Structure 1
Amino acid sequence: MSAKKNEIRSKLALLQLATELGSISKACGIMGYSRDSYYRFKKQYETAGERGLKNLSRRKPALKNRVSQAVEDQVIEIALDYPNYGQAKVAELLTARGCAISASGVRTIWVRHNLETKKNRLLALHSKLKQDNNLAPSDQVRIEKLYQLDSNDPIFECLYPGDICVQDTFDLGVISPLGQLYQHTFVDGYSQFAIAVIMPERDSASAAEFLEQTVLPWYATAQGLNINTILTDRGSEFFGKKSQQFSDVLSAHNINHIQMRAYNGPVVNGLAARFQDLAYHEFYEPFLKENKAGSLLDLNQQLANWLYDYNHSHAISGRYTLGKTAAEVLKLTKHLSEASSQCS
């Protein structure tokens, strides 16, 4: 007989003996219980029967050792954004962002959500993408590969110009006398051809305007290309309740959208980040050091001049560019996009 059943039988015996003797004190003395225990057992028995006499563990969960829900949510998000990252890497990323958590703490959360193995994280990612996106099977497979990239990978896999592109918003800070400004950036993943404009806002409306009025017409009219997928971070202009205008443009033009949280400048927006860093040091710093930005129109014209030189004269080393300029790569590989359209 188990210890728990013995315990219940002992309590029942106390209640029965007190009834037979007509004395609670004598029964408690014989059975070795206090009068307070008798009255507690009697109340439990009257309320829930024998089940009420079962001892409940008095151990309280160590909630003080459990991380906050906000940190736990971020651990789960990274597990799906970067399923190939180990627990030590995830802990390092979160610690760098001010969320103190150990590698074992990460694993504890993974175990709680059945994410402790890479296979389980990939399965969870697969389910999430199926729920969030209406993608063709081939697109789903390729998008899942993007989520498995390491942050040190120099470039993701593209099939042709326009296949996967990156859009980002770069904070330029306050430029006197124009005020706070932002550069909206679009980089083709295959050719690394860059398009950018300077705007005073970074909300969803400005991101949508940049994409619909500047980027899409250039791809369609100047190049005869379609955009298949756009990769962004989870800035409010691209992700969440305030991103509806940007999402509407994507839906209207049947463009897939991959949103990945940007942890410490990973590969998800690394292509745009590298271009923006180049633009800042080679255009903004020297130009603004020697010139005063008279108007937003004038500053955008100066940026357009620099962009033309970058796209047509700047040799780019990369998996697809191979030391050619972005314009040269577009010209030489446009047939890849046309071939893909014919096959689909």
Structure 2
Amino acid sequence: MTSDQYIIQRKVNIVELGATLGNISDACRKLGVSRQHYYDIKQALIEDGIEGLLEKSRRSPRIGNRVAPEIEQRVLDYALEFPTHGQTRVANELKRKGVILSAGGIRSIWLRHSIEKKSLRLKRLERWAAENTNVLTEAQVQALETAKEEKEAHGEIETHHPGFLLGQDTYYVGYIKGVGKIYQQTGIDTFSNVGFAKLYNDKTALTAADFLNDKVLPFFDGFGLSLLRTLTDRGTEYCGKPENHPYQLFMHLNDIEHTKTKVRHPQTNGCTEKLNQTIQEEFYAVSFRKTLYTSLEQLQTDLDAFMDRYNRERTNQGRHCRGRTPMETFIDGIELYQKLVHKGELMH
């Protein structure tokens, strides 16, 4: 007896036993099957005869269970625009645009189109750029591949309200012919995850101080808040004799406390490292594939636009954000800050 014949005979026996006993429940109980299974078999016999009792192959996808074609296209278009976003991030962002789809649903679509890995989505972007814009050059690819890889850091730090602690770091972006070496001063409000970034051609104490003066302090001043403390590594751009070190002097003049990470413990500034990684993956990895940059100012303009989207539109999974954007978290945190000031509990 073949396996198909065995399957058919077993199913026929279920129906025949039910007819013999005159009690479907007893027949199902004796054979250890459900009543629903019995009715499914009987319906298959009515509709397709004995052939209907054969196991249906599931190699062909159940098209009825798939998302609508227009929704699937939205997911594919999003992957082209933001190839470094993970499946949970994509689900959160599309939800804000009215597209309700689980992270598992996103991955299923990626699997059907062989773009389930970040590297595959980036390669898809490269092909698209080459076919549609003709701007992808070997120099761009080389600049991207040789850019400094940021290791992911973990760990939490104490932070109580917006402006309580700013993480600051120097990130080496890479070298572009005609532009030179590019360094990024990165800052993040550790309570709200609001981020700041500015590009320079070198890393010095002057650029570290200029970053705070140009990007960070004006932002907090605009909301009537003070920056109380910064956290940096022990690089020479941040550390030196207070009497003749531009960064140290700037901190003293603005009454900002400067704390440093523990030796060989970079994870104590993990949120800043994470922001560097986010900018690398979501901005540089994409922009260097689309645009041939010829000046620092051109790159800074695009970086500013990305940081604005990061702060105001991008959902964040941070401890205080919990799915909100950094700016939403920052605004909500101002009320907490004001309550602490009113109670005299503002902490340095």
Q: TM-score, normalised by structure 2?
A: 0.52
Could you tell me which residue of structure 2 aligns to residue 322 of structure 1? 322
SS of aligned partner of 1:328: helix
Deviation at 1:238, TM superposition (A): 0.6
Structure 1 counterpart of 2:213, one-letter code:
E
CA distance in 2, matches of 1:324, 1:176: 39
TM superposition outliers: structure 1 runs of 4+ over 3 Å: 151-154
Unmatched tracts of structure 1, length 5 or more: 1-150
- Please tell me whether Structure 1 or Structure 2 has the larger radius of gyration of its CA atoms: 1
Q: Cα distance 1:285–1:262, how it changes in 2: closer, same or farther (>3 A)? A: farther
**Over the residues paired in the alignment, what is the CA RMSD in angstroms?**
1.9
- Contact (CA 8 Å) 1:155, 1:319: kept in 2 or not? no
Q: Tell me which residue corresponds to 1:288.
A: 288
- Which residue pairs with 1:169 in the alignment? 170
Give, in whole Å, the separation in 2 of the partners of 1:318 and 1:154.
Answer: 12
Tell me the CA shift for residue 257 of structure 1: 0.9
Partner of 2:181: 180
Q: Deviations over 1:1-59 (max 9, x none)?
A: xxxxxxxxxxxxxxxxxxxxxxxxxxxxxxxxxxxxxxxxxxxxxxxxxxxxxxxxxxx
What code does the residue aligned with 1:254 have? D
For residues 325 and 173 of structure 2, what CA distance do their matches in structure 1 show?
26
CA distances 1:152-187 after superposition (whole Å, capped 9, x unpaired) = 753212110010110111011212321101010110
Q: Provide the C-alpha distance between the structure 2 equivalents of 1:152 and 1:176, rounded to a whole number of angstroms.
A: 31
Tell me the residue number matched to 1:238: 238
Contact 1:177 1:293 in 2 (8 A): no
Distance change >3 Å, CA 201–CA 153, structure 1 → 2: closer
Residue in 2 that maps onto 1:138: none
3-state SS of paired residue (2:266): coil
- Could you tell me how far apart the structure 2 residues matched to 1:219 and 1:258 are? 19
AA aligned to 1:257 is H
* Closer, same or farther: CA 256–331 of 1 in aligned 2, 3 Å: same
* In structure 2, distance between residues paired with 1:155 and 1:314: 21
| Structure 1 letter corresponding to 2:172 | D
Unaligned runs of 5+ in 2: 1-151
Using the alignment, how far apart are the partners of 1:343 and 1:257 within structure 2? 25
Which residue does the alignment assign to 1:247?
Answer: 248
One-letter code aligned to 1:336: L
Q: Which residue of structure 2 aligns with residue 271 of structure 1?
A: 271
Indicate yes or no: 2:261 matched with 1:260.
yes
SS of the residue corresponding to residue 234 of structure 2 reads coil
Superposition deviation, residue 261 in structure 1: 4.0
The 1:153/1:293 distance shift into structure 2, 3 A limit, reads: closer
Matching residue of 2:16: none
1:228 aligned residue: 228
Q: 2:7 maps to which residue?
A: none
The 2-side partners of 1:295 and 1:152 are apart by 31
Tell me: CA distance 1:152–1:202, structure 2 relative to 1, closer, same or farther (3 Å): closer
TM-score (norm 1): 0.53
Distance 2:310 2:189 in 1: 14
Structure with more contact order per residue of length (Cα contacts < 8 Å, sep ≥ 6): 2
Quick one: which amino acid aligns to residue 280 of structure 1? Q
Query: Quick check: 1:312–1:325 contact (8 Å CA) kept in 2?
Result: yes
Partner SS for 1:159: coil
- In the alignment, the residues of structure 2 paired with residue 278 and residue 153 of structure 1 have an alpha-carbon distance, to the nearest angstrom, of 14
Aligned pairs (5 A) from 1:67-216: 154-216=155-217
Aligned length, in residue pairs = 192
SS at match of 1:272: helix
Contact 2:153–2:274 (Cα < 8 Å) also in 1? no
Q: d(CA) in 2 for partners of 1:337 and 1:189? A: 14
Corresponding letter in the other structure for 2:199: I
> Which SS does the other structure have where 1:266 is aligned?
helix
Change (3 A) 1:340 1:253: farther
Partners of 1:230 and 1:341 in 2: CA distance: 20
Report the Cα offset of residue 322 of structure 1.
1.4
